[in-house]
């Protein structure tokens, strides 16, 4: 038995419907929402501002302090509030992905706080969070060398699939499922974040990168349109 049909009817290379909007948190310097299907993330940016505690200050550059959290009822089995090993790891990889495109030398001794909150989770939350955070940084007017866009590519049995859901991640027949979240830069298509959960042959990994490039281009288009003030909801657009 091979994986022939996706449970939600999408084509193998099809993203879930995207929602994207900036300016959702008026008190923040920048904010955004990014959703892919049932995965919904919001991000708020505060700063750049003088860093406290002082011992963390870097006299030659600023730092990005990124927090990732899930609302307790964002998942079917209530997520325990507060930091966990998983949330700390995702905060760190998200912050690193963002830091690679921000010219932090412009902000000595400063911090840019980036808070990512997952409102609802159906896999790919780190990708949705990074997409929202990159939009929120741009919305805050933080100068970025390039934009970044993120998507999780999967290998389910022998098929490379774009933007996998939790149900797909949990596929155990045949070769099972491999989850590969990618974050790519908009112009130079560099990888600023890549994780791999499962196993995959090198040639199939290259294939997954090609799928990520195409998918990130679509994500980028939504991010850019949202930053121009559009309220993007592909759920509504598909019903028109
Ligand atoms: O969300 P992402 O794919 O970036 O990270 P993951 O750790 O691979 O989690 C995959 C999915 O598992 C999440 O998106 C949630 O749908 C689910 N999950 C959960 O139900 N409860 C948790 N405490 C953590 C994750």
Q: Decide whether any atom of ligand 1 lies within 6 Å of the 86 Cβ.
A: yes
Q: Kindly list the distances between the CA atom of residue 85 and the CA atoms of 11, 44, 92, 118, 169, in Å, as whole numbers in the listed order.
A: 34, 22, 11, 16, 20
- Of all residues in the chain, the percent with pLDDT exceeding 90 is 88
pLDDT score, position 239: 63
Ligand 1 nearest atom to the CA of residue 79, by list position: 23
Contact 27, 57 (CB under 8 A): no
Q: Where are the domains of the chain?
A: 18-232
Per-residue model confidence as pLDDT tens digits over 24-60: 999 999 999 999 999 999 999 999 999 988 898 999 9
pLDDT score, position 1: 55
CATH class assigned to 18-232: alpha beta
Ligand 1 nearest atom to the CA of residue 122, by list position: 16
Q: What is the mean pLDDT of the chain?
A: 95
Average pLDDT over residues 7-17: 96
């Amino acid at each position: 038995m091979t994986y022939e049909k996706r449970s939600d009817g999408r084509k193998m290379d099809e993203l879930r419907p995207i929602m994207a909007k900036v300016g959702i948190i008026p008190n923040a310097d920048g904010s955004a929402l990014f959703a892919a299907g049932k995965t919904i993330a919001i991000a708020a940016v505060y700063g750049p501002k003088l860093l406290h505690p002082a011992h963390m200050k870097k006299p030659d550059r600023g730092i990005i302090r990124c927090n990732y959290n899930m609302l307790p009822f964002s998942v079917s089995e209530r997520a325990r509030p507060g930091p966990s090993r998983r949330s700390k790891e995702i905060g760190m990889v998200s912050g690193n992905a963002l830091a690679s495109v921000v010219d932090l030398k412009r902000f000595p001794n400063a911090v840019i706080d980036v808070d990512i909150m997952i409102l609802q989770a159906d896999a790919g939350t780190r990708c949705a969070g990074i997409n929202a955070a990159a939009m929120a940084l741009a919305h805050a007017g933080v100068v970025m060398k390039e934009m970044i866009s993120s998507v999780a590519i999967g290998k389910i049995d022998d098929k490379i699939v774009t933007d996998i859901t939790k149900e797909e991640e949990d596929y155990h027949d045949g070769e099972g499922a491999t989850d590969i979240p990618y974050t790519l830069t908009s112009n130079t298509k560099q990888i600023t974040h890549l994780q791999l959960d499962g196993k995959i042959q090198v040639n199939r990994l290259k294939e997954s990168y090609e799928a990520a490039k195409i998918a990130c281009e679509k994500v980028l288009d939504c991010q850019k349109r949202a930053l121009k003030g559009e309220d993007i909801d592909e759920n509504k657009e598909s019903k028109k």
